[in-house]
Chains A and B, each alone.
Chain A
């Protein structure tokens, strides 16, 4: 089975949301800043629950934040 890579637009969406800081996003979704950094760098894939919380925080559908590339 081919490994899939999940890309995200968290950094881009943060800046679109009034240059929201990593800490502000972390506080809004209930994670640490270090986890936000890991997510943005693609070193950690979030749980489904966290992904939905982020989508709700940015006010966008899930697929606008995360996309899959083969």
Chain B
């Protein structure tokens, strides 16, 4: 297994280790419900720092195990193909997110008005506003898309090297 492949494996694992618990928390326990938006942002920054730390730790033995060969033309081709795939994934995610947000966010506003009316309150135009927790949900969904495209990039690199090894 080449250094580039090991490095890609380390990146995939690091992303999964760091961002799986992060998205689990922000999607299942929306912190904005308790007005803790600042904590969400701080958590995100901490997660990004943790990602780079875990990534650095996991790739350190690879770097120390011998001379790291410079990437050659085959490595560049594999990276280019992976970047192309990641670009397609990102574009698809952003497009789906835009469409889902266009319909999903107003639908949540309509639900908010309906629930106010059901409670006997007078619904106004301000009732159409969605709660911060819902807004954050959509933001995190987009951020998850960026993370997914990153996973696609590194997975495609691993797949590229595996294809060479296994035919």
A positions within 8 Å CB-CB of B: 30-35, 37-38, 41, 43-44, 46-47, 50
B positions within 8 Å CB-CB of A: 2, 69-75, 161, 163-164, 167
Determine how close the nearest CB of chain A comes to the CB of B109; give it in whole angstroms: 54
Note all chain A residues with C-beta closer than 8 A to B163: 43
Note all chain B residues with C-beta closer than 8 A to A38: 74, 164
- Say what secondary structure dominates the interface of chain A: loop
Pairs across A and B, CB under 8 Å, 22 listed? A30-B70, A30-B72, A31-B73, A31-B74, A32-B69, A32-B71, A32-B72, A32-B75, A33-B69, A34-B2, A34-B74, A34-B164, A35-B72, A35-B75, A37-B164, A38-B164, A41-B167, A43-B163, A43-B164, A43-B167, A44-B164, A47-B73
Note all chain A residues with C-beta closer than 8 A to B2: 32, 34
Question: Complex formed: what's the CA distance from A47 to B74 in Å?
Answer: 9
Question: Complex formed: what's the CA distance from A42 to B75 in Å?
Answer: 16
Question: Complex formed: what's the CA distance from A19 to B113 in Å?
Answer: 80
